[in-house]
A and B are shown apart, each in its own frame.
Chain A
Amino acid sequence: MSTQQMHIDPYERNWMIFSGILLVLFAVAVSVAAFGMGIQVPAPEQRVDPRTVATDPSSPWSNPGLREVSPGKYDAYVLAHAVPNWEFLPKELSVPVGSSVSFYVTSSDVQHGFKIQDTNVNFMVIPGQVSKLTVTFDKPGTYNYICTEYCGSGHGVMYGSITVTP
């Protein structure tokens, strides 16, 4: 006996169709940026033991800093912690302009955030996990990296800086 029909006002039907198309367009734009322009979100990189990641000599984060992989290409191992002090190690980095730097960041204690100002490097730093994103520094200057997740009293003073030399 299902002669019951959905009665939808034609204006509202058109609005729903329009909304659907609009959302699809946003999805396309996002996909272009992700798959066409290489602007991607972090992917699982590595698991580590947060209890030893900062102290085990075989762990790169026991000696955080830049490693030149090839001319103009660097890996940056950054350790975030709140104990004993709220800081990123190293607190300073320097690369020449045009360098591509891949950041590998982890925490030896609580969750932190890592955001390099004026770049798309912005991710969670979770003990037990390694977060990785890459950035090419096209413009010289100073770029702060700041903690963006509550990690205790010193969260608001936790930052470092990258100097990109001309």
Chain B
Amino acid sequence: MKQYQLSTGEKKFVGSHLLVAILALAVGSLFGPLQAFEHAGWDIYPYIKPLIKSYYQGLTVHGVLNALVWTTFFIMGFLTFNVMFGLKRPLKNMTLNKVGFWLMVVGVVTAAIPILLNQATVLFTFYPPLKANWAFYVGLTLVVVGSWVEGWGLFATYLGWRKENPNERTPFIAFASILTSLLWQICTVGIAVEILTMLLPWSLGLIEGVDPQLARTYFWFTGHPLVYFWLLPAYISWYAMLPKQAGEGKMFSDTLARLSFWIFLVLSTPLGFHHQYVDPGVPPVWKFIHSMLTFGVFFPSMMTAFTVVASLEYAGRKQGGKGALAWIGKLKWSDPSVSAQLLAGILFFFGGIGGLANASYNVNLVLHNTAFIPGHFHLTVATGVTLSFMGISYWLLPYLTGKKLWMPKVAVAQSWIWFVGMIIFSNSLHVLGLLGAPRRVPLGLAPYVPAEWNSRLFQVGVGGAILFVSGACYLAVMLMTALSKEKVAEEVEVPIAEPMQDPALSPIWLDRWAPWIYGTLALVVVVYGPQLFELIKNMALTSPGFKVW
């Protein structure tokens, strides 16, 4: 049975997302090694002063391009692909989606200019009263609004499908992609309010001061669900594509996969205070409630762990695997898309453990703003998500371009090099954090570094160097594939793992949106409303801006 084919124009549109994403990753990743080497005692920043004035300007570029641009563009491209391919139809209004895409591109350029001119060295969290040039805030707003517009285009496409197919279950990859986009639209209200009501008017001189505690609260309203916006697309691939690629596997439980996504929708947003456990302006009772909800949101990841591993086990045994663990060796490790995502999953386990520790209310006192935090997020967004996205691009780019993947053996090696480099890099940061080392500090130059930290600081540099090699391999494979003259012999097959049970047999409430959306909004109002009301009622716009870099 031939698969549904995207048109050339549609493939180009998805591909343009990947292009921007990979360009962002290429530039953003240049600063990773500089930071890592700095920690190890080799400070290269003085040599690049004409271009980049400080460690912190580099760190801003690294964070904004990697954590915000690489991710958002890749995700919107992948979700758009999933909606078209999953629903077997073109976008309802391609022009609308293109408008969204171009808004995002204009936004990136608008924010990039002040960043590169050292007028927005505020890191990707841009906490006021650090005050960036107004164009930085405009740029970020355009990226977010552009992603909303693309999302509306996806919703319209889905509603069109639903009208024509009132009784069918939404195909999983389309369902999960629509949900992810919806989650994103709900949670970005936080930073939209922060930027539009405070930071933008402030940077334009229309208001004299801001309330930093309130600004933080708006930011982290979005900041936690942001990580699910990053993670769920990787989960879509792990659930619905990877098992097929790894050994002709199936999706172990379509029902529980859908249920886990619904729980993510409901629980991703109403727990942002777990990033504010040690903020002075939020009462402990709300912090505690959010911490309990955070334990709750760990639950669908536990479900995901089971379903994904079981789906992979099915594939491994189908390929002849025996024994409790030996079946793992029978998975198709020679496929670069598989090796990348399996290794991403393994390291993501550890990222999840660190995340649970961070989220455990007072346990956060040990970890907050220490090096444990970048250790943690390099396992989650920089490996679980990023390495998975690299793995997805290893089949998606050939699919979109019709070109053969350049040197698959290099691509496989790339994932292993990332894996080894990340273990060294991230493990040292975790340990440094437990020893008390702070984050966001050029530790190679800090005066309070005890001898105890030195070996780990050196390892950060070693890990960073290895990651740099892997990043270069990835970019080489992508570039050479795009430039290749070698076409694939036949259409690249989009890997889709069939569910083991017919989705039509699962309860209807797993395919109805209204109750889940109402539940999500109600919970957010209950656990955020009162404290937001307090903070807004007692808002004190007393902080003027500072440019302290």
Contacts and interface: CB of A to CB of B under 8 A. Distances in A.
Interface in B277-325: 277-284, 287-288, 291-292, 295-296, 298-299, 302-303, 306-307, 310
Contact of B280 (A33, A124, A146, A151): A124
Contacts of B544: 51
Given A26-B356, A41-B277, 18 more contacts: A16-B303, A27-B295, A34-B288, A34-B361, A39-B362, A83-B546, A111-B130, A115-B369, A124-B278, A126-B212, A127-B212, A128-B543, A130-B280, A131-B278, A146-B438, A150-B56, A150-B123, A150-B440
Contact of A12 (B130, B212, B253, B542): B253
Interface stretch (A1-9, A57-65, A72-80, A94-102): A1-9
B248 interface: no
8 contacts: A7-B253, A27-B295, A30-B363, A43-B284, A51-B542, A115-B370, A127-B543, A155-B440
A155 B441 contact: yes
Contacts of B363: 30, 33
B506 A4 contact: yes
Contacts of A27: 291-292, 295
A41 B129 contact: no
Contacts of A43: 280, 283-284
B362 A44 contact: no
Interface string A138-166: 00000010111111111111010000000
B299 A20 contact: yes
B540 interface: yes
Interface residues of B, number: 72
A92 to B, nearest CB: 13
B451 interface: no
B285 to A, nearest CB: 9
Interface residues of A, number: 67
Interface of B: 54, 56, 123, 127-130, 211-213, 216, 252-253, 255-256, 276-284, 287-288, 291-292, 295-296, 298-299, 302-303, 306-307, 310, 356, 360-366, 368-370, 436, 438-443, 445-448, 501, 505-508, 538, 540, 542-544, 546, 548-549
B471 to A, nearest CB: 24
Nearest to B504: A4
A30 B291 contact: yes
Contacts, number: 210
B542 A41 contact: no
A63 B48 CA distance: 42
A89 interface: no
A64 B213 CA distance: 23
Interface string A34-55: 1000011111110101110000
B368 A148 contact: yes
A144 B453 CA distance: 15
A157 B443 CA distance: 9
Contacts of A12: 252-253, 256, 303, 306-307, 310
Given A152-B548, A153-B54, A9 B540 contact: no
Interface in A75-130: 82-83, 109-111, 113, 115, 117-118, 120-130
A6 B413 CA distance: 41
A128 B281 CA distance: 9
Contacts of A82: 546, 548
A153 B279 contact: no
Contacts of B445: 156-157
Contacts of B362: 30, 33-34, 39-41, 120
Contact of B279 (A30, A40, A42, A83): A42
